[in-house]
Structure 1
Amino acid sequence: MALTISSGEISGHIPDQIGDLPDLLTLEFSDLTHLTGNIPRTITKFKNLEYLRLKKTSLSGPIPDYISELQNLSFLDLSFYQFTGPIPGSLSLLPILQSIQINDNKLTGSAPNSFSSFVDNVPNLYLFNNKLSGKIPESWAKYNFNAVDLSGNEFTGDGSMFFGRNKTTIRVNLSRNMFQFELSKVKFAKTIVSLDLSHNGIFGEFPRELTKLRLEHFNVSYNHLSGKIPSGGVLQTFEPSVYSHNICLCGAPQSHTHLLTMKLLHLCIFLISLSSSYSCTLNDKNALLQIKNSLNNPPLLSSWNPQTDCCTSWTGVACTKGRVAELTISSGKISGQIPAQIGDLPDLLTLEFSELTHLTGNIPRTITKLKNLEYLRLSENSLSGPIPSYISELKSVRFLDLSFNQFTGPIPGSISQMPNLEMIQLSDNKLTGSIPNSFGSFVGNVRSFYLFNNKLSGNIPESLSKYDFIAIDLSGNEFTGDGSMFFGRNKTTLGVNLSRNMFQFDLSKVKFARTIRTLDLSQNHIYGNFPKGLAKLRLERFNVSSNHLCGPIPQGGVLQTFKPSVYSHNICLCGPPLKPC
């Protein structure tokens, strides 16, 4: 079923006799620097092979076309070799391929046009560190890649086809190429957590929607970008180096070294002022000054000077055509409550009060006047009391984050009636009760759902099984019953954390989405054997400890790469990395 030869003093070629193991599902030769030659033709006899990893050897020559005869292959890794020549277009004929890793070789030529007609699945695509060149076929724009890495090549032209607001892409790395496109016109998938566009010829200004992304890795250095980096979200949390060596960026975070010299910074401000003749309206300025006064005129808001334009020089304020569109007050010594005057900024799209440990009270009713609000983050404060049901009157909100506060009581079922809601983040509060039954009929398209570290309990409504969440985290509560409804072979889920609850279900009956990268089921009452489908997942984080699981851990894939502790405190699990069965 599986043959793995790795990290040893082995020399020679891959033997032709490898084809005489017709029932192989997994074949791996890796970390064998003296393994040379090419991939033998006899490998095509593996009609059942699902996982092929020939990594970090000294194999050379072209990647053979006949690799496409492995019709059951779901994972192909030929990385870190000496392979030369073009990428075989026939790889697109593999009907269930989920991942292509042919990075770190010496491949040349362009991206195959045939890759615009994958037979079925659209695989993760890793082509980085080769000598590939030319333009990406426009037909690739129709694909919804989970992850794509083309870095370290010589690609040219437009690379923006990998983006799209309705896609579910997680990671994109186009760095160290010669791509040219206008960043301000790009629509980003809300699911992206890693984005590297550095060392290209990308131009234009930052689109505001970048502030809505929950980026963990980000780099746009060495391009031709200009203008102001929008406030809000996580863009200000990155080091200045990720913005460096652009034409005229300003507003980036400061550290021990400045992103721009003062001369260039002044030039940027001047150019931005030329691009807009709008000044802050009197109504908005007065509302902001009242907000400042209600918060006892904190030093954090010292730049809010009534003699200056609130759209150009006030901390945390950004405008569109003279109207305040973004208000971000974060990480300062502010005490008091959220001012009622917040409702007097009718054009707000983004509102954030975060990391303000002395901000208390509840959410004022006047917030419902913000009919255009899309992004609401009231996180890491000391807000308390129940989450008000009138929060559902914010019909334009897409991103709702009330995490890390002291909110109590039940989750308002009315949240399900927010028609544009995409992410719910209510974690780390003191919420009680169960998940509202109304959550089984979301009006909006909720894809990310975070309730971890509360005091929630009860069974999960069965109606939630119909939803295809990208990420869900219910950990650290007291939920009971069946939690398997969050899984499904045809879903596109990336992360599931059900740990530290009291869920009970038979793991052997669960069908997992092939997209899952993080899975934590630890500290529950989950029973049964491991399903073989787990061995096919490209898991990056995994834990099933402290359950009632039994039987052998399936071999193949990455299950053997995790520490024994992720399997500990079960009834009778066995097999690598645990003791033999």
Structure 2
Amino acid sequence: MAKSPMDTLQLSYIQIAIAFLLFAQAKSTTEHTSTPQPNDTNTACIASERSALLAFRAGLSDPANLLSSWKGDDCCGWKGVYCSNRTGHVVKLDLQGSGYTIDSDSRKVLAGNISSSLLGLQHLRYLDLSFNEFDKMQIPEFIGSLHKLRYLDLSMSMFIGRIPPQLGNLSNLQYLDLRSSYQDRDIHDGTYSTDIMWLSRLTSLEHLDMTYVDLSAIVHWLPVVNMLPTLKFLFLTSCQLRTSPESLQLSNLTSLETLFLVGNQFHQRSTPNWFWDLTSLKYLDISYNGFYGPFPDEIGNMTSMVELHLSANSLVGMMPSNMKNLCNLEVLYSYTSNINGSITELLHR
């Protein structure tokens, strides 16, 4: 029976919810492993770093008084500022806003300019400026000089323009979130990149999210991603990618567990395709990509799979019998595909 528009819309919301749950889970895991512990009450604030923080604050607009605690000599006690118990250096700056809340009156965000005074925090390992409103500002190139960063989240903060390749200098990064606030396909209303070779230098990266970043000018994106051997989570949703290679001659993505390629413009046969060879995958979403052709037999080899999203493509044919090998599979979405055969055996294995 054909899906009604309402059914399709509801399933789309479910997919978005699942994506955010996976993102939260991945973020929580990364924070647990790389976040410095809160500062000790006896930690002394380093004067030069306090000055750098105050200069940074001076460039911001703070209508909700999020930084009202930023006064006095003890910068290690300021909201969002964490210092090393051992050295006293500022190692974490967590200034995530609450943009995109349903109630606009409850939104608490920072705006204004991001000052290069942050370069005074050369021991910074964690920087989160997500969900703020740096409206029509480009991501500052100088962030690429904070060489000790392991965690960088600039997502959903209304940045525009080219993503600076200087971010490739952050060789210690494990977590990078550059999700764009703009779903508009006008390149001037969001972030974009015409060359992502800088990513290849982030060889410790485990989590990469470039959702809604315009990558339409990039053809050979996969060889660059393949240079990230520690990558576990990859989100390239609605990036206007147009090519999905049939295979990787030598895959380095043996640690990849989560892959979201939703809403790109591949419009090619579903098989052969490089991601069917990633047997480490637990979560795969290739919905809304224009894939067509037979339901891939290769799925039966992906024995780690927990969630598989194939919806809004043009897959046809019989569901492969080897799907009974997917003993960990909990969720399968394949609506709008013309697939024959019963899934009873799969569900009651």
Question: Does TM, scored on the shorter chain, surpass 0.5?
Answer: yes
**Cα distance, 1:426–1:465 mapped onto 2, change above 3 Å:** closer
- Between Structure 1 and Structure 2, how many residues are aligned? 293
Q: Post-superposition shift, 1:475?
A: 0.8
The residue number in structure 2 matching 1:463 is 223
The residue number in structure 2 matching 1:112 is none
Larger radius of gyration: 1
Q: Post-superposition shift, 1:567?
A: 1.3
Output the CA distance in 2 between the equivalents of 1:568 and 1:415: 39
Residue 569 of structure 1: which of 315, 319, 336 is its match?
336
Output the CA distance in 1 between the equivalents of 2:96 and 2:28: 22
Paired residues of 1:330 and 1:356 also in contact (CA < 8 A): no
Gaps of 5+ in 1: 1-189, 196-208, 214-228, 232-250, 252-271, 334-354
Q: Give the alignment of 1:255-266 within 5 angstroms.
A: none
Q: Post-superposition shift, 1:382?
A: 0.6
| TM-score where L is the length of structure 2 | 0.68
Aligned to 2:216, the other structure's residue is in SS state strand
The residue number in structure 1 matching 2:312 is 546
Paired residues of 2:304 and 2:328 also in contact (CA < 8 A): no
**Cα distance, 1:192–1:514 mapped onto 2, change above 3 Å:** farther
The residue number in structure 2 matching 1:319 is 83
Output the CA distance in 2 between the equivalents of 1:529 and 1:553: 9
Aligned to 2:124, the other structure's residue is in SS state coil
Output the CA distance in 2 between the equivalents of 1:428 and 1:288: 26
Q: Post-superposition shift, 1:477?
A: 2.8
**Cα distance, 1:191–1:474 mapped onto 2, change above 3 Å:** closer
Aligned to 1:424, the other structure's residue is in SS state strand
The residue number in structure 1 matching 2:9 is none
Determine whether 1:419 maps to 2:171: yes
Q: Post-superposition shift, 1:372?
A: 2.4
| TM-score where L is the length of structure 1 | 0.43
Q: Post-superposition shift, 1:474?
A: 0.9
The residue number in structure 2 matching 1:476 is 238
The residue number in structure 2 matching 1:387 is 139
Paired residues of 2:53 and 2:117 also in contact (CA < 8 A): no
Q: Post-superposition shift, 1:502?
A: 0.5
Q: Post-superposition shift, 1:434?
A: 4.2
Looking at secondary structure, tell me which structure has more helix per residue.
Answer: 2
**Cα distance, 1:480–1:573 mapped onto 2, change above 3 Å:** same
Q: Which amino acid aligns with 1:477?
A: C
Q: Post-superposition shift, 1:289?
A: 5.4
Determine whether 1:493 maps to 2:256: yes
**Cα distance, 1:499–1:483 mapped onto 2, change above 3 Å:** farther
Aligned to 2:299, the other structure's residue is in SS state helix
Gaps of 5+ in 2: 1-24, 100-105, 183-189, 345-349
**1:544-571 CA-partner distances (Å, limit 9, x unpaired):** 11113222222302598645xx21223x
Q: Which amino acid aligns with 1:359?
A: L
Question: Relative contact order (C-alpha < 8 Å, sep 6+): which is higher?
Answer: 2
Aligned to 1:482, the other structure's residue is in SS state coil
Give the fraction of aligned pairs with identical amino acids, expressed as a percent.
Answer: 25
Aligned to 2:308, the other structure's residue is in SS state strand
Residue 448 of structure 1: which of 207, 215, 227 is its match?
207
Aligned to 2:82, the other structure's residue is in SS state strand
Output the CA distance in 1 between the equivalents of 2:33 and 2:131: 18
**Cα distance, 1:359–1:331 mapped onto 2, change above 3 Å:** closer
Paired residues of 1:483 and 1:503 also in contact (CA < 8 A): no
Root mean square deviation, CA, Å: 3.8
**Cα distance, 1:305–1:400 mapped onto 2, change above 3 Å:** closer
Q: Post-superposition shift, 1:446?
A: 2.6
Q: Give the alignment of 1:142-161 within 5 angstroms.
A: none
Output the CA distance in 1 between the equivalents of 2:253 and 2:132: 39
Q: Give the alignment of 1:62-461 within 5 angstroms.
A: 210=32, 212=34, 230-231=37-38, 276=42, 278-285=43-50, 288=53, 299-304=65-70, 306=72, 309-311=74-76, 313-320=77-84, 321-331=87-97, 357-383=108-134, 384-430=136-182, 431-439=190-198, 441-442=200-201, 444-458=203-217, 459-461=219-221
Determine whether 1:529 maps to 2:291: no
